[in-house]
Each structure stands twice: as C-alpha cells, then as structure tokens.
Amino acid sequence: MLLLAIDTSTTAITVGLHDGSSVVAEAATLDARAHAEHLAPNIRDVLASAGAEPGDVTDVVVGIGPGPFTGLRVGIVTGRTFAFALGLPVRGLTSLDAIAHEAWLGGRRGELVVATDARRKEVYAAAYVLGDDRADRVTEPAVSRAGDLPAETRGLPTAGRGPTLYAEALPHAVAPLDVSGGALADLAVRRLRETAPAPGGLQWVDPGHGFDGLEPLYLRRPDAAPAPPSTKSTLG
C-alpha cells in the first residue's frame, strides 16, 4: 500500500505518504495564498523522497475542509484528478478530524476543540473527545465567530489557528496549528483498517466506509459571500 494524503484547508499546503505501517514522507508549505503553486511540486517531492513513482500510489485521500474555498478546492481537485489519471480510489476526510487526530497522536486525551481560520472574522470549529484508542468528533463542523461558540466549549483546549487569531474568545491554545499530511494519512490508514472495505471495483468512493465523501465542506453559500457579480459576461 502507498497512500497519498493531500490537504489544503488550512495555511499548510500539505502532503503525506503512508506505506501501511508508517508515514514514509511528508511535506508542508505555509502559504495561504499560493496553494496551486506548491501542491503539485510537494507531491512530486514527497514521492521522490520515498523513492516512489506516481504509479506506485495505491490510494488517495483528500481533506475536504471546511476551509477557505479557493485553497480548499485546489487540494480536492488535485486529489480527484491524480486518482482519476491513475485509476485509483480516492476518499475524503474532514480536515478538522486530521488536526484532532494529530493532537491524539501527540498524546492528548480528553475534550478538545478544533477551530481553524474561516476568514471574515469567523472560525470553522468542531468538538472532539480524545479517548484511549481514537479521537471522536462529537459535533458537526460549523462556521461562526469564535466568541459565538458555547461558553463551555471556548474554555476547552483548542487546536488550530483559531486561538492565535482570537485569543480572548479561545484562551486555551494547544498544538497543532494546521493540518499535516502525515496525520491525515495516518488517520486514513486507520479508518481503512477499522472499516469494511468499499465494494470492489469502485474507483470513486462514496461517503460511508469510515470516510466523508469528496464534496468540499463549504458551510457557506456563495450568495452569502459579498462577491459582486464580475464585470465579465459569459461571452467567452
């Protein structure tokens, strides 16, 4: 097995490669404005450092957010296209879960909030319980102002960039800040092991089977975005 994990939902443009027993290579570039520039070179470099060819990859997993839309799409379309080109299964995982999983891998237990930067003075957040053998998400990912999260939630240890941006509302900052490709890959391999395999021959893996589908978690409608209609028409 050689599982390629990709996430562009946070400031980190991150890639991880997992051979089924451990993370064999990982890369991350911190650049919130240039996801499409760094992602493909990062995948190329990660494969090269593991001595692997694109054709050696057996599984693709992408973080489906929530995250700022433009960057988020870069990771999802890259994962979908890479997998399509090589005829591989491609699966999605909620990106916030990868942050909670990394905290869990680091030894953290108990309650945890993950709050990432949603821009426009808001955070994407979900609550977790980190048990002995896994991290479980206990609320659906949502977007809101940090100060509008329930008071009992805001006092909990909080991973992601939310606490660094809104220290007053989220005073208890803990690691990690961003998604890491290695943690996402590790989470994906565990989910693959824990759950029944998807029906054979399926190239495009639907939600279920421990995964979350391949649709981006936007959590905001485009209408809500104050993007004025472009001055460009559709005449080509």
Partner 1 sequence: MSDEPLVLGIETSCDETGVGIVRGQTLLVDTVASSVEEHARFGGVVPEVASRAHLEAMVPTIERACREAGVRLRDLDAISVTAGPGLAGALLVGVASAKALALALGTPIYGVNHLASHVAVDIVEHGPLPEPTMAMLVSGGHSSLLLVPDVTNDVRSLGSTMDDAAGEAFDKVARVLGLPFPGGPHVDRAAREGNRIAIDFPRGLTTGRDMERHRFDFSFSGLKTAVARWVETRQRAGEAVPVADVAASFQEAVVDVLTRKALLACKEHDVDHLLIGGGVAANSRLRALAEERCAKAGVTLRVPRPGLCTDNGAMVAALGAQMVSKGRDPSDLGLPTDSSMPVTLVQA
Residues at the site binding Zn ion, with contacts judged by CB under 5 A: 236
* Partner from Zn ion, partner 1, none contacting 105, C-beta within 5 to 8 A by type: none
24 in Cβ contact with 185 (< 8 Å): no
* CA atoms of 212 and 104, how far apart (whole Å): 20
* Partner from partner 1, Zn ion, none contacting 35, C-beta within 5 to 8 A by type: partner 1
Q: Which of 52, 56, 69, 213 binds partner 1 (CB under 8 A)?
A: 69
Shortest Cβ 25–Zn ion spacing (Å)? 40
Q: Rank residues 229 and 236 by Cβ distance to Zn ion and give the closer one.
A: 236
Residue 196 CB-density burial (10 A; 0-12 exposed, 13-18 middle, 19+ buried): exposed
Shortest Cβ 235–Zn ion spacing (Å)? 8
Tokens of 147: 């100060």
Q: Rank residues 9 and 158 by Cβ distance to partner 1 and give the closer one.
A: 9
* CA atoms of 116 and 5, how far apart (whole Å): 19
Shortest Cβ 230–Zn ion spacing (Å)? 13
- Residue pointed to by tokens 């409608």: 221
Which string of x and - marks every residue 209-228 that binds partner 1 (by CB under 8 A)? -------x-x---x--x-x-
124 in Cβ contact with 143 (< 8 Å): yes
Q: What is the DSSP string of 96-122?
A: HHHHHHHHHHTT--EEEEEEEE-STT-
* Partner from Zn ion, partner 1, none contacting 73, C-beta within 5 to 8 A by type: partner 1
Instruction: Tell me which residues touch partner 1 (CB under 8 A).
Output: 34-41, 43-44, 54, 69-70, 73-74, 76-82, 84-86, 216, 218, 222, 225, 227, 229-236
